[in-house]
Chain A
């Protein structure tokens, strides 16, 4: 399989008045065509920032310091980080689209739904008049929105949260992108609506032969729709594996802890498993392995040296001294 996107050694830092925040440090990540990759981590782990780096939308005072992001475009690889602002604009929103957590704040409240989707069609597909309107309707139809003629004329506040997220997905997919980045797409939604949206994303994925980078903190969702799982902690990837490998044979102590600390609806534990301590302050990450102060299996070396990526199998990588250097 050809890789659609390949991130090599990405570093994104924030230069704040309090010091440098190394929010993303040395990320390597590969997304194949029509693959769903889940990027899992807690707040401050750098998962959203990785996505924003792909889109070249890192907010001030953040800066991409180092690395390459190779994207397969028109048969050849381009490095998204070295092309011009104009070239990235032809990829962003057209070849790579993104949907966000809060569909309400991502839609403009003073324009109708139809207008906002038409804007994308005009800009990226250069369609006008009836062709444009038909394309807008087609995209709303794809995401299962009923009564399209009415919805086109409505404004965001007239729609429910689930509907708004459908509109966002329609807007993201209207330009027929190759990669969809979904940043916590269901976190703001109720569970019954969440189930609908997840089903929609996996349906569309097969229909359009789309690759999806799903950012989430909910391991339940990961289990539902991913092929590959990437676990991030404090700006670094600690484990990468196929979905089955992560759930059946998690290796990194952080992954193990995360999986164990999710409460189970089928089982009542007297005490839930916990990862001790709290997420480190990004201004002063611990030396050595960044997980070492919270790790139940920490050794002396973990405090001094940073572990490197160890290959357990072709598809399973882990960054921990238990398994390698």
Chain B
């Protein structure tokens, strides 16, 4: 494996066609517009951005839940985009996903034991009941949860069930898509700690998607900031939070409530993802913009070691 890179994402694109009804015709939403990054073995990469910026789409593309339009995704030296159904099934054993809403992601009619153990059944493993019960205990649930139904659990407990289900196959890579956003503060910190512990115990690699920078900072090694389907800044967790360079990252960090720093209040509208601007996507709301930004798109350039920014204001000659 090259430099311990577990995941390699190479210039991926994804758009969705939306049918606007009989007279509306078709429109195309450009969700992901050329994204590249790697995730090292044992690393947590945080993916942050506002709603509609394409961060969940990226997560789903990586584990092959939705096909991509262009680009490549590599997992352990193997190209996994464009795989067939059978090979995909094998892959799922190694890659799993945890979703935001633990209420919607559990079938109300299936007992917890069966829901968690399903993947083992598919792969015809033995001793499923013991393995499931062990896993339930690892995530902090009582053993008798095995026989219960989802409605008997609270939101935090359900998220623990979803985590058990994702980890039962001992995957190497897990996409966590806003796993704590729907939980109360006191429960949120329990789940974050659990995810950290499990990472150590099972030597996991995470892609952690969230809109909450406070959460992202506390779990990620590196952070990628997304805006309208592009990465605008990528760097170590400390660098992004303490020395943000891109104006959008600065805005996001200043907007986290409860700190005595000056808030940057953005003016201007977010461009529609159906009609992408020609220049920098952030141009319409940027407070540091100049003429060049309207015409050309800045590349993601390494301005300091391991700190990448896509902005003409930060030595970007393109």
Contact = CB atoms under 8 A, between A and B. Distances in A.
Partners in one complex: yes
Interface in A237-280: 257-258, 261-266, 268-276, 278-279
A264 B212 CA distance: 11
Contacts of A257: 186
Given A220-B257, A263-B189, A265-B259, A192 B154 contact: no
A196 interface: yes
Interface in A162-220: 190-192, 194-196, 198-199, 217-220
Given A160-B269, A268-B217, A272-B192, A192 B186 contact: no
A192 B192 contact: no
Contacts of B259: 220, 265-266
B241 A265 contact: yes
Contacts of B184: 42-43, 217, 279
A123 B257 CA distance: 37
B270 A160 contact: yes
A298 interface: no
B185 interface: yes
Contacts of B196: 270-271
B209 interface: no
Interface residues of B, number: 41
A268 B237 contact: yes
Kindly state the interface size class of chain A when it binds its partner.
Answer: 35 or more
A269 B157 CA distance: 23
Contact of A217 (B51, B185, B251): B185
Interface in B238-271: 238, 241-242, 251-259, 263-266, 269-270
Contact of B193 (A42, A43, A220, A272): A272
A221 interface: yes
Nearest to A247: B258
Contacts of A220: 214, 256-259
Contact of B157 (A263, A266, A278): A278
Nearest to B256: A265
A191 B156 contact: no
A191 B251 CA distance: 9
B40 to A, nearest CB: 18
Contacts of A30: none
Contact of A263 (B211, B215, B251, B253): B215
Contacts of B241: 265-266
B145 to A, nearest CB: 14
A223 interface: yes
A224 interface: yes
A258 B218 contact: no
Interface string B117-129: 0000000000000
Contacts of B253: 265
Nearest to B248: A192
A279 B190 CA distance: 13
A199 B254 CA distance: 13
Given A42-B187, A263-B214, A263-B215, 12 more contacts: A190-B211, A192-B50, A196-B265, A218-B185, A258-B185, A261-B186, A265-B241, A265-B256, A268-B237, A269-B218, A275-B189, A278-B156
Interface of B: 50-51, 154-157, 184-190, 192-193, 196, 211, 213-215, 217-218, 237-238, 241-242, 251-259, 263-266, 269-270
Interface of A: 42-43, 160, 190-192, 194-196, 198-199, 217-224, 257-258, 261-266, 268-276, 278-279
